[in-house]
Amino acid sequence: MTHVLRALAGCALLVGAAGMQRAEAMPPQSMTGETGEATGPSIAAVRVADWVAASNDNHSLPYIIVDKTTASLLLFDAAGKSLGQAPVLIGIALGDDATPGVGSKNLAELGPAEKTTPAGRFLAKFGRPVGKERILWVDYATSVAIHPIPTRASKKERRRQRMLSPTPTDNRITFGCINVPVASYGKIRPLFSKKGGYVYVLPDIKPLEAVFPRLRVRPVTDGTAR
């Protein structure tokens, strides 16, 4: 696990343009908010990063770890090198499973409990356009994608302010998609544009090993590795 911890310790914040950054600079392993409060990758995120790097579960493709509990994203290249951490917005509802048939519904038809960001391992690829630009589909069947904050999003939702806030408690606002800063998306796009890559969405409620069973054979980090 040491190599992953070192990589994460040196990661740079992915946001940095159009006013979307949380800070000009950040301490190692942290995501600094405007108030100066900072958090680093969770133990769960480190465990998944270590497992992917050690097992080549990403099959030499770039990958992303989305941690719903900290409302953050970790980006890695195909060789497992950490490229940074950024805040994300996720589905309003707690939950780790998509409601059956949710992908065939219009947004206006979704009930509150259906607005979840499902947990799991997904092969993500750029697909059909939304508006004028293709987006990175995490799970096309359930209409879950990674993309910047939509320009059509209601101002009442205050998505940009939620993304900039120093805590993850207000980052649940989407219908299930994963909103990322524009600058972060600019780094994700070239990595995933050719062959795609993997997205690992960590669970809200389920045990980590229930979502990623192969983690059972990986040791859990102790307190000294926090």
Cα 106 to Cα 117: distance, rounded to the nearest angstrom: 16
Q: Is 74 helix (H, G, I), strand (E, B) or coil?
A: strand
**Residue 99 confidence class, pLDDT cut points 50, 70, 90:** low
Q: What is the DSSP string of 126-143?
A: EEEEETTEEEEEEEGGGT
pLDDT digits (tens, 9 = 90+) for 178-223: 999 999 999 999 999 999 999 999 999 999 999 999 887 665 554 4
Structural domain range at position 17: 2-225
**Residue 86 confidence class, pLDDT cut points 50, 70, 90:** very high
Residue 19 is part of a domain; what is its CATH number?
2.40.440.10
Report percent pLDDT > 70 for the chain: 69
The total of structural domains in the chain comes to: 1
Q: Lowest-pLDDT range, 29-43, 144-158, 161-175, 182-196?
A: 29-43
Q: Supply 222's token pair.
A: 């102790």
Average pLDDT on 27-41 reads 44
Give the per-residue pLDDT at 32: 29
